[in-house]
A = this chain, B = another copy of it.
């Protein structure tokens, strides 16, 4: 069955598979000390235009958020995030499991507002009782957000200025970073991200890899013994090569950007297709996730022939659903989807 359920339905990009085949019997040191990991890191530093960046490869998004956040916070600190942020809503309490509170701010199409953040921080530091409260120790944003939306460069810079004023790091969850960077509506480059954020990760699992996320510390701020803390959280793969080879491939000849751009083009086709057919969107998403408001009865009908994700109830008769494209989506898939819509 045709599926737009998510952007991790397939295995990996064929070039990655090819490299896994070619390198398979090489004997390499474990735990990320192999030369593929080194090369991947070097290429990521270049792609970020950030020669000083420290890169660490991990396996999945929730794992990455937990390891990064818990290793950077003091025990009396929490992480500030949008209420809809992945760390607050969909990680089974991984951050709290590591001992830290997620301090939720209101969300605006998945984003936090700089003004609200600033007010929150100012109020906290003026509160006479703050020693009895959780200190805000980091700002978490996802980009694209869980709603497919993007921060503008100006918004990111604003958040960053606030973070610096309060001496706390700005952390970007880039599970779908490629799809954000290749959006037609963004003014943010990977170099901007590296410049503006203190730490972020480049998502691999949803952008062409079998698994893998590349954490980038941009300000010589990787916590000492980060590897040990990753190990302690069960996040250190013995065969680190699996991650190294994949990211090495993704950052060779711009593959990561190329396949991300492709997904965006497919999303654009999908979006136009729905729009032309008069469908209503939950919100304007410039990336690979598109949120359509459908009648419940239509959801039932469509589900029989195409797979997509239920998102949220809108009213008694309508709900929003998500169609996601990815590096693996083909123009034929979009074509078939449109035919299904027309023949429903």
Contacts and interface: CB of A to CB of B under 8 A. Distances in A.
A100 B93 contact: yes
A235 interface: yes
Interface of A: 1, 3, 5-6, 8-12, 14, 17, 20-21, 23-31, 59-67, 70-71, 74-76, 78, 89-94, 96-97, 99-102, 104, 128-129, 131-135, 205-206, 210-211, 224-225, 227-229, 231-239, 241-242, 307, 310, 328
Q: Which 9 A-B pairs have the closest CB atoms?
A: A63-B234, A11-B24, A93-B134, A9-B27, A92-B231, A92-B232, A96-B101, A76-B228, A93-B101
Contact of A96 (B65, B78, B205, B241): B78
A241 B26 contact: no
A235 B334 CA distance: 33
A21 B224 CA distance: 39
Given A25-B10, A328-B25, A94 B238 contact: no
B24 A90 contact: no
7 contacts: A1-B27, A60-B236, A76-B229, A89-B133, A92-B228, A93-B134, A97-B232
Contact of A238 (B76, B133, B206, B328): B206
Contacts of A232: 75-76, 91-94, 97
A91 B10 contact: no
B237 A60 contact: yes
A316 to B, nearest CB: 14
A51 B293 CA distance: 45
Contacts of A128: 310
A234 B154 CA distance: 33
Contacts of A211: 237-239, 242
Given A5-B29, A28-B9, A97-B232, A131 B23 contact: no
Contacts of A27: 1, 3, 9-10, 307
Contacts of A307: 27
Contact of A10 (B14, B26, B234): B26
B11 A23 contact: yes
A59 B64 CA distance: 14
Nearest to A65: B234
Contacts of A20: 11, 17, 20, 210
A24 B74 CA distance: 38
A212 to B, nearest CB: 10
Contacts of A64: 234
Nearest to A99: B97
A100 B96 contact: yes
Contacts of A12: 24
Nearest to A234: B63
A85 to B, nearest CB: 13
A237 B205 CA distance: 9
Pick from A64, A96, A225, A241 the residue with the most CB of B within 10 Å. A96
Contact of A228 (B25, B31, B131): B131
